Structure 1
């Protein structure tokens, strides 16, 4: 697509109905789209489906896979020196599949077709979009719709996952677990054995040895 064609795509693509539903954080989401394209005295109607898988989580650990051809020790050094950089790089990856369901050509105007589709859609339908675009640029309209869905969903998806601790590194999760067991063991001695087992399992007993025996004596 050259610069002039890109300008045409941006200028002539119109959104007549937006989906209200956002992409689910923990499951698959389906959206239906209708794209109406005027062509001479006729109108081409395309109906399709977008299937969005649940977002892929990119953590501070998995982000290392982004840096191909780099020495792992150099990456780890940068991670230790600039931890905020790796936190900023974490995020979500989206996988969206497009399926064209039907295509038909009718002898009616674009405006009539758009109104008819709107009237057929249940007002409670939160997953259907209606767009218009030049016939040779209809796929651009689908991509624009996809980008808009991701853009409006990403903040909520990130928030859902952060609240459930999905972006924490293995080290952060282990530290939280150890601190929780220390806290519980102070009031319930039954947790001391589990704490000891976890410290041994994670190879952290030496690090917490003084604190552990101080807890046992009390």
Structure 2
């Protein structure tokens, strides 16, 4: 099945003092989605954004707001992120004992539902949940920090997940260490949404965003060769 490749810049690598203009700039330069990493300092060893930040960014995002929750528990926060304007909400398989219920609740709140799987979890564990998923995110680093090195062994996980999904309209997202070097391998394995932080935002600013466009084009070219 032919798959279009989407580039989802992670604002974790953008200028924290200028998020609105950074989002607008990277969209103009060719971003398909905007990826927002929410971390709680508990499920992962870092603390980033909450629903108020997502709500503040919503007017600036004209493409698609991809919100990745690296938090536990997830369920009490679902309505808040729905009200903030998330288009897709991704929860971690490892974040709680009832991921099936979590995915149901995300869908019931009017959002697309994503499921993320850490490097230490076999993607086969997601098999019973796939029919509730619009997207499965394979973490290609251990979650919690940007700028980490890609874990090559996750390529097998991506390929296994693509086999499990078959012809179902479920996207495979990869998050962590994605750049022009690793993009061809993850796409070949079966991914179609590439989350990239420093590989997109490197070298540019909201005032001079041409580098963002060049980086996105390089990433897209590498992913489609």
With the length of structure 1 as denominator, give the TM-score of the two structures: 0.18
Structure number with larger C-alpha Rg: 1
With the length of structure 2 as denominator, give the TM-score of the two structures: 0.18
